[in-house]
Chains A and B, each alone.
Chain A
Amino acid sequence: MALVTAPTKACVVNPLKMSQPIGGAYAFMGLRGAMPLLHGSQGCTSFGLTLFVRHFKEAIPLQTTAMSEVATVLGGYENLEQAILNISKRAKPKIIGICSTGVTETNGDDVEAYLKLIRSAYPQLTKLPLVYVSTPDFKGAFQDGWEKAVARMVEVLVDRPSANGLRDPSKVNVLPGCHLTPGDLDELRALLEDFGLYPSFLPDLAGSLDGHIPDEFTSTTIGGIDVDEIASMGRAGWTIAIGAQMQRAAEVMQTKTGVPFRVFERLCGLHPNDDFMMFLSEISGRPIPSKYRRQRSQLADAMLDAHFHIGGRKVAIGAEPDLLFDLSGMLHDMGAQVTVAVTTTQSEVIERIRTKEVLIGDLEDLEGFAKEKHCDLLITHSHGRQAAGRLKVPFYRVGFPIFDRLGAGHQVSVGYRGTRNVIFQIANLVIAHRDENDRPTPDRWRTTPGLPQHVGHRRSTGAPERSIA
């Protein structure tokens, strides 16, 4: 059991956290022909947009109601109305996903009521789904915005089963958390299909943000799950939720349609994937395909090769709750010590993280504790680069945003193969860092006073001794 501590300082330094509305908007980006819309001042959208562009290196559909000071005082009805009309005219979306922001939550805009008014005033919008989710900036974090948005999508877009509606046991709903990349979704899709299952991902970022070249120019999302497909999700045999954050959406699905669900809190690591494979085998009635038996064996071998480098490392991780839980679990399983864990928002999983203390804090906390506790591996998103430079430790980039490396959308960490990749990448970082910065010197182990001494905080059982690389 980890102790969860909340911040006491007034000034957040180098935030780890990002805001709820862009987490919500991110979820809408996994829907085909969608236009996410932030109801707030134009900066709210512009910052989010830049962040997504830097991460994915893709054009990102994201619009704003462009609230001005006057509009904020008078209420945002007109801005919302104009924005929806403008978007539906110009971009011809199949769905508009609306997220509120701090501005419009503080002035108390009743968006649900506005949408009813807009619908009654403009019959041409009858067939255009408008999904609204309340995501004030001053509460929660990115992951919470995603969680709420997906739960709302299920509430609004999934049809209730008709009286004679038949279930299709080969159909499976997958509700992925925001810590999964488009690459992860593709990996899972292939995996489920190998069991003869037909998965529907909600949301499906693999179709829209996987970095492909569309045939036509569109200003909405260029792929993702279709609104019609979402409507039919009630006919699936099972719902698989990945990450504790998706429990809520899975529950809503079950209440609405009766589709049973199972939450997989982790998909990185050996045991979590064993459980996952067994579950898929059970619901599909098929044996584990030989491909995955081989992959399991490859993972086991990778773990053997990498434990020399990862084992015993003191790791400092900063990530959103579900990603933190998943990765720290995997590293713990590899024999690393999760020494410092910092996260962004409350979640049920964080007390179960295999470490002493989890801090809901920022990158200053992560850096400070990592230094104090002599951590020798730093794991967080790209904003950790400055800290890594100062700490002079290997730095593994995970989560969102990753803006100073390419291929963030294709970083795979789920399944046996994904876990194997992550383990290799981390071990290689450690090896490279040791080669470049930590070669032994004649004075390294000298303790006689008066002679030159290596100043630093390396452990006395220096890593080079154990190198078999």
Chain B
Amino acid sequence: MSSLAATVQDIFDEPGCAKNGSKSEAERRNGCTRQLQPGSAAGGCAFDGAKVALQPFTDVAHLVHGPIACEGNSWDNRGAASSGSDLWRTAFTTDLSETDIVFGGEKRLCKAIKEIIDKCDPPAIFVYQTCIPAMIGDDINAVCKAASRRFSKPVIPINSPGFAGSKNLGNKLAGEALLDYVIGTREPDYTTPYDINLIGEYNLSGELWQVKPVLDELGVRILCCISGDGKYREVASSHRARAAMLVCSKSMINVARKMEQRYGIPFFEGSFYGIQDSSESLRQIARLLVERGAPADLLGRTEAVIAREEARAWAAIQPYKPRLEGKRALLMTGGVKSWSVVSALQEAGLELVGTSVKKSTMEDKERIKELMGQDAHMIDDMTAREMYKMLKDAEADIMLSGGKSQFVALKAAVPWVDINQERCHAYMGYAGIVKLVEEIDNSLSSPMWEQLRRPAPWEALAKAREQMQSMAAIAGDPVLAETARRARNICVCNRVDLGTIEDAISVHGLRSVAAVREHTNAAGGCCQGRIEDMLMSEPSDMRQAAE
């Protein structure tokens, strides 16, 4: 078995990744993870990534070998759903103490594995390595190997300590562990020409089940989903699938590609977010299966189902369209969703004012351009402060993002809908996109926003009083009055100040907005109302004071 460093190196050299392919040899050696910035980093570690990727395997005991922080601070924090066992939601950790660190934690790990087998007897145990045992040299590969033999049960080492890198790297290291120890170790009870694998789908909020009925109807069997609602037996025998769909491309491309290499399972990258993407994915599944020998009538049946489901979804979205037409959305998410959700939102009539491409590949960016036009506002890296300003200045009507930027939007009193893993609604497939549109409409049409944006009555009063006071101060001082007059813009577009317009009105005796426009640079567009007010009223106190 290769060392962790070698595995990481191998992962970075991913021919299936377009972004990686476009790099020079030297760049590739540096890996694809961004150098982490101390003091301004966000996001999980490699252990987090590995755990996130594998934890949805429902009947496996997930044992974290490390101090309490790694599991104690993080367990039961994902909304994946299970149709069977709840074991995945039970947290197991060796809770390493100081003594373990001095004397080594391997013995404790071994005892912990035995305790789990005695108590729960799961079909397999996944043992996650963390930073501290990696530092002190606990060899979890050896412990797992010995334990597997002793208890005649698969005990799988997931070698992805937190400091190895980012969450994304952890996803891939978890995939490597599956490839090395699990996939291909069993045979399925039976196979059909319609067996597929879904790779990188985590069944958050049960969203897989929004798609599964359609697949069931077509007779397509999910032999294994890695890892949403997955079972150990299924992933162990997943090498017999006829085709595979890579759902979240960033996280497990290595698994899809290596399974193609080793077992000849062709795969495509797809998404079930949005109507067109869902249809496209179904077509691809059918096409790959037929190419691998499934009866050709699958293609026709698929088209029929797509036509029916699309019509149904469009009809369900239609009533929302007039309500959402022209509303501007800011989309802050990563990777595939940066484009797959775009088309979905456009279908509902929303206008996208920006989408983040921080985690997107070149290919992702191309697709965004295709969807949003050449001058799509692609946001590479936006600080929370910039995001807040953008929302506060009302440059978007709604933000869709993950939980991390939730409060940026909410504190700016701007509607927000969660589209990342913490969300409590499922948005996949035809049913999901309708649900998403419904949620967006719910949020946008809430009468709450209007109430919240209005300042407290005493604040409005205080502001008025303050203004009066400063006016009084100005009125007594000609110099101050003059600067104040020059400082206040009436026409914001062309930057024409109050003083200039007032002077023009009084010197030339102007009576209409058109006349003001002739004599000054004022545009008279959005400032028309303000100029009309000025024409109606007496010259301001400030002008009198300035004279």
Binding site for B on A (CB under 8 A): 9-15, 17-19, 21-22, 37, 40-48, 50-51, 53-54, 57-59, 63-69, 71-72, 79-80, 82-87, 90, 101-103, 106-107, 136-139, 141, 213-214, 217, 219, 383, 386, 403
Contact = CB atoms under 8 A, between A and B. Distances in A.
Please give me the 10 A-B residue pairs with the lowest Cβ-Cβ distance, nearest first.
A43-B45, A86-B39, A83-B39, A11-B112, A10-B111, A19-B69, A83-B38, A137-B67, A59-B407, A66-B36
Given A11-B111, A386-B76, A82 B63 contact: no
Nearest to B40: A86
A63 B37 CA distance: 10
A138 B67 contact: yes
Contacts of A65: 38-39
Interface stretch (B128-136, B352-360, B487-495, B519-527): B128-136
A141 B336 CA distance: 39
B316 to A, nearest CB: 30
B48 A43 contact: yes
A428 B75 CA distance: 29
Interface in B428-454: 452
10 contacts: A11-B115, A12-B92, A46-B45, A53-B406, A64-B38, A66-B36, A137-B67, A139-B97, A217-B411, A403-B77
Contact of B116 (A11, A17, A85): A11
A86 B37 contact: yes
B74 A51 contact: yes
A44 B112 CA distance: 23
Interface in B127-152: 131-132, 134-136
B15 interface: no
B97 A9 contact: no
A245 B20 CA distance: 53
Contact of B42 (A46, A90, A107): A46
A88 B352 CA distance: 35
Nearest to A69: B163
B41 A64 contact: yes
Contacts of B240: none
A134 to B, nearest CB: 13
A82 B135 contact: no
A59 B411 contact: yes
Interface in B10-56: 36-48
Given A41-B163, A67-B163, A213-B411, A46 B44 contact: yes
A85 B74 CA distance: 29
A101 B130 CA distance: 13
B64 to A, nearest CB: 9
Contacts of B497: none
Contact of B90 (A14, A37, A48, A90): A14
Given A43-B48, A53-B403, A103-B131, A138 B97 contact: yes
Contacts of A15: 68, 71-72, 75, 91, 93, 95
B135 A12 contact: no
B545 interface: no
A66 B37 CA distance: 7
B164 interface: yes
A383 B162 contact: no
Contact of A41 (B45, B73, B115, B407): B45
Contacts of B388: 217
Contacts of A19: 67-69, 72-73
A42 B68 contact: no
A130 to B, nearest CB: 13
A222 B343 CA distance: 38
B327 interface: no
